[in-house]
Amino acid sequence: MRLGPRHGSPTRRRGAHHPRLTGTENGMGASRRDLLVGALGVGALAAAPGAQAAAAKFDAAWLQMVLERFAGFGGKASGGAGDNASGDWLEKELTALGYRCERQAFEVPYADVRQATLVAGGRRAEVFPQATVRTTAVGGLTAPLKSSAMPGSLDGAIALVVLPYSRWVSMAQPVIRAALKDAFDRGAAAAVVVTTGPTGEVIGLNVSPSEPGFQKPVVLLAPKDAPPFVAAAKAGATVTLTVDAEVGRRPAYNLIARLDRGAAKTLIVTTPRSGWFTCAAERGAGVAIWLSLALGLAAAKPKVNLEFAATSGHEYIYLGGERYLEHHAPKPADTHAWVHIGASAAARDWHELGALRPLPSADAQRVLTATPDLLERTRRAFHGITGLEATYEANKANAGGELVNVIEAGYVSAIGLYGGHRYFHTAGDDMRCVSGELVEPVAAAFRAVIDATF
């Protein structure tokens, strides 16, 4: 039983069978992309003769359409319009294939920001309020700006925390937590964090909704905007920080799609779909691979049940993934294998030659792990794919993202991918950062390794 072409297969020839996506939804106007997709929904693939359906090629052109559709929904903040629209779209796609879909609801924090700025004299910069968002008083907070790197009291001041260079991910990272705790312990009234990283853009930071966090405003400042404020902090100049937002909690949901074959075991395939910004490469690549697997496995009819989950709440330290694992996922004894497609599965790499210049190759900052029973098969399937060819054993030291919780919950057969590309967690993670050509070999390798488990 084969899901489709193996890694390294030639690209689709003219006239080859090509599964298509459903038409325009969610208020998006008709576009050239929609016209290319056409009126044929993916349900037609499920209805096609078995051999024809199994031979369907989810090639670069098809993957490109999926990526563009996902990116077109805009920002993917949990429970927001883009997150909900992408979940609705995926639900329609899988329902058309015969999957039984349901929505697992939960609540997430949110902030609809009206204004978030830092002003020093004639200099003004947009800042990104760090969740869980704490607002300033009307008119903002006016106070001296002081560097957190300098000793002494910060009583009543706004602390400027300049992080060292990294591809930052989370407020839970020790360097960030320690710097902010120190600033607030010394009396800071608020903190401005410069997320020094590989693009000069502000980097959104994931956060746990179950921890109290800091009870004062914390905002993130792009490194490209930081120099005048670093100078202001050295001088102890007075600045005004404004965070004006509607904050609260709102519903979000995991999309869970199941195809019951009456088998004893279930293959679970998961991917997050939410994030701080558009997440074209961070989340889009995983969604495209996930959808191609859902279509291919529905047609191939393996002798296992299928359960696909596209989770929300990821930026709240895997909240949606935890809810799915705790309350819905089949038990370890009933699971054939768990495949998790995490962040940056196939993102573009860039040259640093003054300005960043896009490369046709993939960013190698992506990691693949597998449990011992699947380790060698996974290595063979991903051989030659930059950053993924060195598959590691999935354990507490090597696994990342939601797969950590899966391993700890006792699932003995699992594969997981995670990564952090150059524009990871930034507003610049748009369609420049990903393409069907970059995703295609990774999708093919996932199909190959899943084939090998049967």
Query: Residue 33 — pLDDT band, cuts 50, 70, 90?
Result: very low
**C-alpha dihedral, 103 to 108 to 114 to 116, nearest 10°:** -130
- Nearest residue to 158 via CA among 83, 96, 242, 40: 242
Nearest CA-CA partner of 280 in 436, 399, 136, 408? 436
pLDDT of residue 282: 98
Residues ≥6 apart with Cβ < 8 Å to 185: none
Residue 337 has pLDDT above 60, yes or no: yes
Stretch 330-356: mean pLDDT, rounded?
96
**Mean pLDDT score, 300-320:** 96
Which pTM was predicted? 0.89
User: Does residue 397 surpass a pLDDT of 50?
Assistant: yes
Residues 6+ apart with CB under 8 A from 362: 346, 347, 348, 349, 385, 386, 387, 438
The pLDDT mean for the chain works out to: 90
| pLDDT value for 362 | 98
**Residue 24, preceding peptide bond in cis (omega within 30° of 0):** no
Predicted confidence band of residue 171 (pLDDT cuts 50, 70, 90): very high
For residue 93, pLDDT beyond 70: yes
Describe the crossing of helices 436-451 and 284-300 by its angle, rounded to 10 degrees: 40
Please tell me the least confidently modeled range out of 11-20, 129-138, 400-409, 440-449. 11-20
Q: Tell me, what's the pLDDT at 396? A: 82
100-120 and 335-341 strand pairing: unpaired
324-334 residues labelled b (16+ CB within 10 A) or e (exposed): bbeeebbeeee
**How confident is the model over 220-269, as pLDDT tens digits?**
999 999 999 999 999 999 999 999 999 999 999 999 999 999 999 999 99
> What is the per-residue pLDDT for 212?
78
Largest CA distance in the chain: 74
Alpha carbon of 103 to those of 311, 320, 338: distances in Å? 10, 11, 20
Of the listed ranges 48-52, 172-176, 292-296, the least confidently predicted one is: 48-52
Q: Are strands 158-162 and 190-194 parallel, antiparallel or unpaired?
A: parallel
Q: Give one DSSP letter per residue of 326-341, joined into a string.
A: HHTSPPGGGEEEEEEE
Per the CB < 8 A criterion, the answer to whether 336 and 413 are in contact is: yes
All structural domains of the chain, each given as residue ranges with its CATH number in brackets, are: 32-108+252-451 (3.40.630.10), 109-249 (3.50.30.30)
